[in-house]
């Protein structure tokens, strides 16, 4: 009888004398059903170049390598990098990049090729990684990422809901975003303190929203949400928005992306 992913993970940690590092947000996925859901969500095929964010112990990377044409695994932890190289030494379609994903140029990495991304993201740097993916010069066809449940809910939130905010707008401005499934704490070793979710991001191939000044749009949106409980006229007073044609007594969380675009178009900083 073959050992389970959880058993393999525990054995590897014991053999290599390694403990998950809290400061790096390391929680190793051990549920094979979740791994398969991720592979299906990415629609991985033998034609695909895949960038994996965090190879960990190489256990999940092994399954990805079986499904994809080529895997480029990015891992910042030198010890885990050594372990995953060892575990995957018999795979000729896996290469490793030993550095921080936030310091990795995806454009240089994929060299203009079509690619997909899969990653179990450290919760404490989820937002900057998502920003890097969605603003990359060469965007992936799809990114399937594991994130904290609450963060996933913020990403898909709609106007008028409690979790709708600047991160919701940023994500939806650049991509179609969908929660694929929720994942229980018991699917990881060690168990995280919070639940997780698998999120699918499909970057817009051409801009979905027409904005004259993208920086101004995001400046106004961020300024509004810094005081989300106040009427728009208060945090946005410097932009002279009287001609925007919107009720400035509304609160930021009630505005759609299109309405923020309208504010940006009428702004006179």
Q: Which residues are annotated as a binding site for S-adenosyl-L-methionine?
A: 27, 29, 54, 75, 100, 120
> What does the block give as tokens for 78?
């030198």
Token pair belonging to 80: 């885990």
Tell me the C-alpha to C-alpha distance, in Å, between residue 193 and each of 34, 149, 168, 220. Answer: 18, 11, 23, 34
**CB 29, CB 187: distance < 8 Å:** yes
CB 150 within 8 A of CB 120: no
Q: What is the 3-state secondary structure (H, E, C) of 45-88?
A: CCCCEEEEECCCCCHHHHHHHHHCCEEEEECCCHHHHHHHHHHC
- 245: which residues sit within 8 A by CB, 6+ positions away? 262, 266
For 220, counting Cβ atoms within 10 Å of its Cβ (0-12 exposed, 13-18 middle, 19+ buried), the class is: buried
**How many CB atoms lie under 10 A from the CB of residue 110?**
18
How close are the terminal C-alpha atoms of the chain, in Å? Answer: 68
Cβ atoms 97, 109 nearer than 8 A = yes
Burial class (CB in 10 A: 0-12, 13-18, 19+), 155: buried
């Amino acid at each position: 009888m073959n050992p389970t992913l959880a058993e393999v993970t525990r054995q590897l940690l014991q053999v290599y004398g390694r403990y998950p590092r809290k400061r790096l947000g390391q929680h190793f996925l051990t549920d094979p059903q979740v791994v398969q859901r991720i592979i299906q969500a990415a629609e991985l095929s033998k034609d695909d170049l895949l960038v994996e964010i965090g190879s960990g112990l190489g256990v999940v990377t092994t399954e990805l390598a079986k499904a994809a044409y080529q895997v480029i695994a990015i891992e910042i932890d030198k010890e885990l990098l050594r372990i995953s190289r060892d575990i995957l030494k018999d795979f000729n379609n896996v290469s490793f990049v030993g550095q921080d994903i936030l310091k990795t140029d995806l454009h240089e990495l994929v060299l203009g090729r079509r690619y997909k991304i899969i990653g179990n993201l450290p919760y404490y740097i989820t937002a900057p990684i998502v920003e890097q993916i969605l603003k990359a010069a060469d965007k992936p066809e799809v990114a399937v990422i594991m994130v904290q449940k609450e963060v996933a809910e913020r990403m898909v939130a709609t106007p008028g809901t409690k979790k709708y905010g600047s991160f919701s707008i940023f994500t939806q401005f650049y991509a179609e975003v969908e929660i694929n499934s929720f994942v229980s704490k018991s699917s990881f070793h060690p168990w995280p303190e919070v639940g997780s979710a698998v999120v699918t991001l499909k970057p817009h191939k051409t801009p979905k929203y027409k904005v004259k000044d993208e920086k101004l749009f995001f400046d106004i949106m961020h300024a509004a949400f810094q005081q989300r409980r106040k009427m728009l006229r208060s945090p946005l007073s410097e932009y002279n928005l009287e001609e925007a044609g919107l009720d400035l007594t509304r609160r930021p969380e009630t505005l759609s992306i299109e309405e923020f675009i309208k504010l940006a178009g009428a702004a006179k900083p």
